Structure 1
Amino acid sequence: MIEQAANDRVLVAILKDVADWAIAQEQRWYRIPVASVEQSLQPHWPPAWIAFYQTKAFGAEAYAIRYYAAVTEIAKVQRCDLFPQAAPGPKDQDWYYKLMLGDVRSLPRPIPSHKLRRITFIPTTWAQLETAQAVGDLLKKRA
Structure 2
Amino acid sequence: MGSKLKNVLIGVVKTRRDLEMILRERAYRMPVEAAPKRAPRYIAFYQPSSVKEKGGLIKVHPAGFDGTIRYWAPIKEKTKLPRVAIVPDEPDHPKAQESYWLIKLGPIRKLPRPIANKRRMRVVFGFTTLQKLKNSREVKDLFDVPPLEEITEELLKDMRLPYRRQFIVRLSAKKRYRLDFALIRKRIAVAVECDGKKSHGRPEQKIKDAQKDADLRNMGWSVVRLKEKQILTDLKSCRKKLLGVMVRV
Instruction: Tell me which interval the TM-score lies in, with the shorter structure as reference length.
Output: 0.7 to 0.9
Q: 1:102, 1:66 → 2: CA distance?
A: 16
Counterpart residue number, 1:48: 41
- Read off the aligned partner of 2:46 and give its amino acid letter: Y
Conserved 8 A contact 1:17-1:55:
no
TM-score by length of 2: 0.49
Q: 2:93, 2:124 → 1: CA distance?
A: 23
Q: Percentage identity across aligned positions?
A: 33
CA shift digits 1:36-91 (9 cap, x unpaired): 12xxx21xx21111111112236453111111111111111111111122232321
Q: Secondary structure at the match of 1:86?
A: coil
- Read off the aligned partner of 1:17 and give its amino acid letter: T
Q: 2:6, 2:117 → 1: CA distance?
A: 22
- Read off the aligned partner of 1:140 and give its amino acid letter: D
> Which stretches in structure 1 are left out of the alignment for 5+ residues?
none
Counterpart residue number, 1:86: 90
> Which stretches in structure 2 are left out of the alignment for 5+ residues?
51-60, 146-197, 199-249
1:120 lines up with 2:124 in the alignment: yes
TM-score by length of 1: 0.82
Match of 1:72 among 70, 76, 79: 76
CA shift digits 1:99-135 (9 cap, x unpaired): 1011211112221111123212121121222232310
Q: CA RMSD in A?
A: 2.1
Structure 1 residue ranges, 4+ long, deviating more than 4 angstroms after superposition? none
Counterpart residue number, 2:14: 16
- Read off the aligned partner of 1:25 and give its amino acid letter: L
Q: Secondary structure at the match of 2:126?
A: strand
Q: 2:77, 2:141 → 1: CA distance?
A: 28
The count of residues paired between Structure 1 and Structure 2 equals 134
Q: 1:137, 1:59 → 2: CA distance?
A: 25
Q: Secondary structure at the match of 1:70?
A: strand
